[in-house]
Amino acid sequence: MTLPCITDARRFDVGAHLPFHIGDERVGWIRENDVALLARWPDVFEIDGDADNARVTLAPHFDNVTARSAALGSVIGALAAEGRIPGWRNETYAIRNAFDATPLAYIERAASRFFGTMTYAVHLNGVVEYAERAPQLWIARRSDTKATDPGMLDNVVAGGIGWGFGIEATLVKECWEEAGIAADLAREARAGRTVHVLQSLPEGTQAEQIFVYDLALPADFVPHNQDGEVGEHRLARIDETARWIEEGAMTVDASLATLDCLLRRQWIDEDACEGIAAIFEPPTL
């Protein structure tokens, strides 16, 4: 069985994008149709349309992180004002191809998909295990006002990692904001695997590494959203959750994070997840 989330996690057409470079390092992907928008700033971007070396490069005279951030910020602000970059978040993301790498520039979170830069997120599987019956998972439904995937099913906790936050600090913060999970309990979460997503979306490219965690939650615990980003929570059987994944009712990110949990705990058979191994390895382009 081929699950839609696995296919979607690699639904990316390299030929429809130009690589975005800072210096010699490719840091993102820009849709061909969006390249013309950037041509309005010839002092900021160098655009090479040659078939063998087509790319968009940040002009080399922006030679430090402050200058690069300022130059990109002015462009991003203009594009957002024109509606080209939706869902402004007032959150800072770093442009970096590895989580522990030194940032090359800082940008508004909403612009990361326009430029196709690497982003990082944490997803938490809230697991409830019982002595005499099958385990269950807490599943969230995203608020209808969310900028991305409104109303879809999600992990009980999920959030992007902004600049200045570590993985565990983000996990603790998001646990409280999205589910009312206290810090002491959140710190008991155990790391799963890292999921790698590269997919085309209406707002651009999602190039993201998702750090997956599991947390054993007490049987009497009920999540309570604190920040308005979750519409509801529901406690679901494993077969229900698997059906939602198969039907595409869950976000791609949450589906993959949940499958990681189900596979590691041997609650589903890997043979039922054709192609799943690929999402635990970075895409090769």
Average pLDDT over residues 57-61: 98
pLDDT tier for residue 1 given thresholds of 50, 70 and 90: low
Element (H, E) at 245: helix 238-247
- Mean of per-residue pLDDT scores for the chain: 95
- CATH code for the domain in which residue 45 is found: 3.30.750.160
Percent of the chain with pLDDT over 90: 88
For the stretch 182-240, pLDDT in tens is 999 999 999 999 999 999 999 999 999 999 999 999 999 999 999 888 989 999 999 99
Q: Within a domain: residue 68?
A: yes
Residues listed for the chain: 285
What phi and psi values does residue 108 have, to the nearest 5 degrees? -65, 135
What does the pLDDT read at residue 52?
A: 73
Same domain for 154 and 275, yes or no, is: yes
For the stretch 119-154, pLDDT in tens is 999 999 999 999 889 999 999 999 898 878 899 999
Q: Within a domain: residue 273?
A: yes
Same domain for 132 and 248, yes or no, is: yes
Whole-model pTM: value is 0.95
- Token pair, residue 273, equals 């997840």
- 140 contacts 179 by C-beta, under 8 angstroms: yes
Same domain for 140 and 108, yes or no, is: no
Average pLDDT over residues 91-119: 97
pLDDT over 60 at 47, yes or no: yes
pLDDT tier for residue 285 given thresholds of 50, 70 and 90: confident
Q: Within a domain: residue 285?
A: no
Separation CA 84–CA 41 (nearest Å): 15
Question: Which residues constitute the domain of residue 57?
Answer: 14-117
Q: Any idea which of 32-46, 113-127, 168-182, 262-276 has the lowest mean pLDDT? A: 262-276
pLDDT tier for residue 179 given thresholds of 50, 70 and 90: very high
What does the pLDDT read at residue 177?
A: 95
Separation CA 45–CA 39 (nearest Å): 7
Distance set, CA 43 to CA 59, 136, 277 (Å):
7, 55, 43
Q: Which one of 95, 117, 139 terminates a domain?
A: 117
Same domain for 225 and 271, yes or no, is: yes
Same domain for 62 and 134, yes or no, is: no
- 214 contacts 261 by C-beta, under 8 angstroms: yes
- 148 contacts 119 by C-beta, under 8 angstroms: no
Question: What is residue 207's three-state secondary structure?
Answer: strand
- CATH code for the domain in which residue 152 is found: 3.90.79.10
Same domain for 168 and 264, yes or no, is: yes
Same domain for 47 and 140, yes or no, is: no
Same domain for 79 and 146, yes or no, is: no
pLDDT tier for residue 271 given thresholds of 50, 70 and 90: confident
Separation CA 201–CA 283 (nearest Å): 17
Q: Within a domain: residue 216?
A: yes
Bridge partner residues of 18 (DSSP) = 30
**Cα–chain center distance at 117:** 11
pLDDT tier for residue 248 given thresholds of 50, 70 and 90: very high
DSSP code for 56: E
Same domain for 99 and 46, yes or no, is: yes
Q: Which one of 76, 92, 117 terminates a domain?
A: 117
Same domain for 127 and 107, yes or no, is: no
Count how many Cα atoms sit within 13 Å of the Cα of residue 269 in the half-sphere of its side chain: 3
Q: Within a domain: residue 192?
A: yes
Q: Which one of 117, 140, 155 terminates a domain?
A: 117
Structural domain count of the chain: 2
Same domain for 89 and 50, yes or no, is: yes
Same domain for 63 and 86, yes or no, is: yes
pLDDT tier for residue 2 given thresholds of 50, 70 and 90: low
Rg (CA), the chain: 20
